């Protein structure tokens, strides 16, 4: 992957994310998780917090599908903490939606409903059309 950026026009983080997504979609959850964890571990200090949060959201999705929903929720909490509180973005909606899906495995339905409503509100605030 050393020349990934030159060949694809994508940085190594995005190439790793795409490889992890491909592994996930083919059912190789442990491979997907290891690719995401390596990408997260290699992020430089000061890396874009929104991109870091979205990588964490992917990690949470893999954890949830690997029957590790409590870890997925913890990962999504970390992702939410990275997002700018002063303005709601598409990333907020993505992470909150993932949180609602993950909470269905570990929390009461009230928490799920509240989080899902937050995700919808974030999507609207970020400009999603109804």
Domain limits for position 86: 7-125
Instruction: Look up the pTM and report it.
Output: 0.86
List the CATH number of the domain containing 74: 1.25.40.10
Residue at 130 is within a domain: no
Q: What is the pLDDT of residues 78-113, one digit of tens each?
A: 999 999 988 899 999 999 999 999 999 887 888 888
Q: What is the pLDDT of residues 35-62, one digit of tens each?
A: 999 999 988 888 999 999 999 999 999 9
pLDDT of residue 2: 56
Residue at 36 is within a domain: yes
Count of structural domains, the chain: 1
Residue at 2 is within a domain: no
Residue at 72 is within a domain: yes
Q: How many helices (H) and strands (E) does the chain have?
A: 7, 0
Residue at 21 is within a domain: yes
Give pairs for 19-26: CB < 8 Å, separation 24+. Answer: 20/58, 20/62, 21/58, 24/58, 24/61, 24/62, 24/65
pLDDT of residue 1: 53
Residue at 80 is within a domain: yes
Query: At which residue do the structure tokens 């997925």 appear?
Result: 72
């Amino acid at each position: 992957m050393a020349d990934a950026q030159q060949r694809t026009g994508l940085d190594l983080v995005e190439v790793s994310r795409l490889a992890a997504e491909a592994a996930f979609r083919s059912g190789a959850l442990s491979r997907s998780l290891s690719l995401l964890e390596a990408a997260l571990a290699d992020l430089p200090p000061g890396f874009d917090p929104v991109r870091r949060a979205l990588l964490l959201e992917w990690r949470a999705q893999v954890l949830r599908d690997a029957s590790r929903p409590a870890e997925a929720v913890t990962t999504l909490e970390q992702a939410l903490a990275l997002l700018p509180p002063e303005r709601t973005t598409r990333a907020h909606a993505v992470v909150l939606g993932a949180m609602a899906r993950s909470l269905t495995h570990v929390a009461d339905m009230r928490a799920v409903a509240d989080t899902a409503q937050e995700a919808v509100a974030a999507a609207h605030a970020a400009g999603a059309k109804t």
